[in-house]
Amino acid sequence: MVDRGAGALVALPPGEGTALSQLLTDRRSTKELSNEALTLEVVAGLLRHAAGVDGAGRPTYASARAQYLVSVTLVAGEVVGLRPGAYRYLGSRHALRTHTLGDLRPGLAAATVDAQWLAGAPAVLVLSADLTGANHYFAELGAVQGERFAWLEAGLITQNAYLWAAATGWGTAFIGGLNQAALPGVAEQVVPGGEHVLGLLPVGRPA
Ligand SMILES: Cc1cc2nc3c(=O)[nH]c(=O)nc-3n(C[C@H](O)[C@H](O)[C@H](O)COP(=O)(O)O)c2cc1C
């Protein structure tokens, strides 16, 4: 073996293609969406892939000590068969529980730094977590380890949503830039008290 020393580049082979390769090529943050309505079938597919369970009841993403710290709320605007409002996704039961009725998209859009366009998305997934509770649960690992785990879990759910979009031709983008001054007013309508909004995933047909 030739010793090339620190800093030398090691060229890599292309790596074997897999079932994921094309999806990763097609994965994009889509920030221009048409106002085409979503059906319940489409919403169900998105939720199950992003943060649900498979036929054997196994979750589609990893979670520290299987605590499933992150909650997903569907904010429906134009979803056939659902009145506009916020609906909590119960992943293990693959069901929605109504949280608040009314069009909450304008409030969410106003709470973003640069994504006001999401007021026109037919639906938005809201990722949230009780960060204080998470920190308490994982306190033995460090003061803020619980919230780190929650953020990481949100990333896994987000990538699932992106891959679902790549596979189906729908579009999404993770919006993490939130205006912390504007957020509490709308958050209290969308998620239970004590939960922190981690990010938004507007969903729709690419324009
Ligand atoms: C943690 C995180 C936060 C993001 N926040 C925003 C945001 O606030 N507004 C926005 O328009 N895009 C946001 N994005 C999307 C990025 O702009 C996008 O991923 C980046 O431009 C790369 O494009 P691609 O995802 O199509 O490869 C965010 C992405 C990540 C991972």
For 76-113, how does the pLDDT look when each residue is reduced to its tens digit (9 = 90+)? 999 999 999 999 999 999 999 999 999 999 999 999 99
Q: How far does the centroid of ligand 1 lie from the alpha carbon of residue 55, in Å?
A: 32
What does the DSSP assignment read for 55-98? TTS-BSS--GGG---EEEEEEESSBTTB-SEEEEEEGGGTEEEE
- pLDDT for the residue 207: 96
- Identify the residues whose C-beta falls under 6 Å from ligand 1: 28-29, 31, 113-115, 173-177
Q: Is 190 left (phi over 0), alpha (psi -120 to 50) or beta?
A: alpha
Answer whether 195's CB lies under 8 Å from 129's CB: yes
Atom 25 of ligand 1, residue of closest alpha carbon:
29
Answer whether 60's CB lies under 8 Å from 54's CB: yes
Q: What is the pTM of this model?
A: 0.96
Orientation of helix 145-168 relative to helix 40-51, angle to 10°: 140
Model confidence pLDDT, tens digit, residues 129-161: 999 999 999 999 999 999 999 999 999 999 999
Q: What is the mean pLDDT of residues 177-199?
A: 95
- Report the alpha-carbon distance of residue 150 to residue 67 in Å, rounded: 9
Answer whether 146's CB lies under 8 Å from 177's CB: no
Tokens of 98: 């109504």
Answer whether 101's CB lies under 8 Å from 83's CB: yes
- pLDDT for the residue 149: 98
β-pair partners for 73: 88, 126
- pLDDT for the residue 2: 62
Tokens of 3: 């010793």
- pLDDT for the residue 4: 72
* Contact partners, residue 137, CB within 8 Å, separation at least 6: 67, 146
Q: How far does the centroid of ligand 1 lie from the alpha carbon of residue 114, in Å?
A: 11
Q: How far does the centroid of ligand 1 lie from the alpha carbon of residue 15, in Å?
A: 27
Model confidence pLDDT, tens digit, residues 24-44: 999 999 999 998 999 999 999
Model confidence pLDDT, tens digit, residues 51-80: 999 989 999 999 999 999 999 999 999 999
Model confidence pLDDT, tens digit, residues 2-24: 667 899 999 999 999 999 999 99
In the predicted structure, residue 115 carries a pLDDT above the cut 70? yes
Kindly indicate the confidence band of residue 122, based on its pLDDT and cuts at 50, 70 and 90.
Answer: very high
- pLDDT for the residue 199: 98
- pLDDT for the residue 1: 63
From the CA of 177, give the closest atom in ligand 1: 8
**Selected residue with higher pLDDT from 5 and 46:** 46
What percent of the chain is helix, strand and coil (3-state, nearest 5)? 35, 25, 40
- pLDDT for the residue 35: 86
In the predicted structure, residue 198 carries a pLDDT above the cut 80? yes
Task: Give me the torsion for CA of 83, 150, 59, 118, rounded to 10°.
Answer: 30
Number of neighbouring beta carbons within 10 Å of residue 183? 18
Domain 46-103+110-175+189-204 superfamily per CATH:
NADH Oxidase (3.40.109.10)
